[in-house]
A and B are shown apart, each in its own frame.
Chain A
Amino acid sequence: MPEVLSPVVVGVIVFVLAAFVGFELITKVPPTLHTPLMSGSNAISGITIVGAIIATGAGSGTLGSILAFVAVVTATVNVVGGFLVTDRMLGMFRKPKRAEDGK
């Protein structure tokens, strides 16, 4: 039986590589888009909603249920609000109108 990597080590590998991808991607975002970038990336951090959903089924008493409920509410606010407000902002970024300006 070959040796198997522990899940934590796999997680650390994934984390480090993803962080480098993040650095590469974000460095290229122009200052004009920094606010939508923040609200959009903030919505992505709402991925913790996955954990909140799983936690509702843990069946660990009243305390566990309360924690899970509040986690679902706050994560959903983060996800739904974050993506919607980012979309609203990006919808305001108007394309340059060459035809009109060029006279």
Chain B
Amino acid sequence: MSIDTRALLYLVAAVAFILGLKRLGSPRTARSGNTIAAAGMLMAVIVTLVDAEVSWSILGPGLAVGALLGGFTAVRVQMTAMPQLVAAFNGFGGIASALVAGAEFVKADGLELPTETMISIIVSVLIGAITFTGSFVAYAKLQGLIGGSPVTFPGQKLFNGLLAIGVVTAGVFTQISQDPLPFWIIGAVALVLGVLAVIPIGGADMPVVIALLNSLSGMAAAATGFVISNSALIIGGALVGASGLILTKIMTEAMNRTLGNVLFGGFGVEAGASGPTGGDVTTTTPEDLAIALAYASQVVVVPGYGLAVAQAQHATREVASALEAKGVKVAYGIHPVAGRMPGHMNVLLAEADVPYDQLLDLDQTNNLLPRTDVVLVLGANDVVNPSARDDAGSPIYGMPIIEVDHAAMVVVIKRSLSPGFAGIDNPLFYRDGTRMLFSDAKQALTSLGSALEDV
């Protein structure tokens, strides 16, 4: 087929991506949207295979290995491990783009490449390689293979800066000399930069990092699109790049941080400054809680990642069902940073059969809370801390919170009074309207479930 026909067919694939992303805007249409995007991808692959002179001895085994590995992982992965999986897939996408650009450089074999092509190749290798190692450091942190705490050393920023300058210099040399050596140095330095960029970032900031790496994997694909002059790659890459950037912005805003602060701040190192404020807490029992819940008309559950760690999503859903059977309305108030990646908590609750119309975002929740009788805080801490709103001296001051103290009664189920991720004490626990239920979340919910049967 002619180059024009091919370009138009790639455009159809790109339109499929756009339609697919559009349909991802509503839970009703999202699944079909994903299918449309996948069909676009299949079409782009077929269009490529029709004309390109491919080497099947390389391509066949490559496709088979990749499809088996990707398919097996996708079917087997647990929903709690979704952030790691997305991080790993981001990394694979990034390195694939870098390798395609690298192969293009090798193909030129010393022949002078136009400056714009060379720049595209270098940008693609740089972003792709950083995405690769950065993603796998994020993967290791999320999977617990390495500690989640920030790793820093003296002069780290200066060292990273020097490496970045080195990459630019090597890039200029590559263009002038068309020599392979500076080119491979760029690739190697980019791999090191990816590790160094993510390793100083603490585990609690991983949602931001994954969103940013998501964006970078798109940018790498777009850069590769410039290398091989393919509009499908440019459009697909630009869409993903934009998507990742928006999610990054949403997550940093939800933490009241800037991107620069996340990347270079070393949060968690300075935290833990404020000691416990102390005071008396009021405790409650599953039996008393069951009565309060059963006679409520509106209950809001505020889950945190602690809920998923305790594998208590299903127990939560069972308590909610028991309450609904008694005519109590139940909703879930989900803070953007409740999970380990954007929207993670929603997926975990969806897996436990919670209908999506009960999953409220921050604003919806805060609008509902003044009309709420009982709020159940499960494994959440910093995202319900009133200090973020009231105490200008607090390290999390300014972070948008779920204002659970606007409800008539707050019940916090928690193992102990230990502070959360940020190491900040929570005055909510000592408030008059708050009841503490000290227990493992799953155990508490199970007792609560049986107590509800007797009400």
Q: Which residues of B contact A60 (CB under 8 A)?
A: 103, 106-107, 109
**A8 to B231, alpha carbons, bound, how many Å?**
11
B96-A46 in contact (CB<8A): yes
Known: A26-B242, A35-B341, A67-B106. 18 other contacts (CB 8 A): A8-B226, A11-B231, A25-B25, A34-B247, A38-B214, A40-B37, A45-B93, A47-B17, A47-B236, A48-B220, A51-B101, A51-B225, A51-B230, A52-B96, A57-B54, A74-B95, A76-B66, A80-B67
Q: A: which residues have CB within 8 A of B?
A: 6-8, 11, 14-16, 18-23, 25-61, 63-65, 67-97, 101, 103
Contact A93 B45, CB 8 Å, known A14-B231, A48-B220: no
Interface of B is mostly: helix
Q: Check A55–B103 contact: CB distance below 8 A.
A: yes
- B192 CB within 8 Å of chain A: no
By a beta-carbon cutoff of 8 Å, the part of chain B in contact with chain A is 10, 13-14, 17-18, 20-22, 24-28, 30-31, 33-35, 37-38, 41, 44-45, 48-49, 52-55, 58-59, 61-63, 65-67, 69-71, 73-75, 77, 79, 82, 85-86, 89-90, 92-93, 95-97, 99-104, 106-107, 109, 116, 120, 210-211, 214, 217-218, 220-222, 224-247, 250, 324, 327, 334, 336, 339, 341-344, 346-347, 350-351, 353-359, 361-362
- The answer, among A22, A79, A91, for a CB contact under 8 Å with B70, is A79
Pairwise interchain contact B334-A45, C-beta atoms closer than 8 A: no
> In the complex, which residue of chain B has the Cβ closest to the Cβ of A21?
B18
Question: 5 nearest interchain CB pairs?
Answer: A76-B66, A22-B242, A34-B343, A81-B70, A72-B62
29 sample A-B contacts, Cβ–Cβ < 8 Å, listed by A number: A6-B116, A22-B238, A23-B246, A29-B25, A31-B250, A31-B343, A32-B334, A32-B346, A33-B24, A34-B343, A35-B343, A36-B34, A37-B342, A38-B243, A40-B24, A40-B34, A41-B240, A42-B86, A44-B37, A50-B48, A55-B100, A64-B103, A68-B58, A77-B66, A83-B41, A85-B77, A92-B79, A93-B30, A96-B358
- A41 interface neighbour in B79, B214, B327, B347, Cβ under 8 Å: B214
Q: Are A81 and B233 in contact, CB atoms less than 8 angstroms apart?
A: no
A51 to B33, CA, bound (A): 24
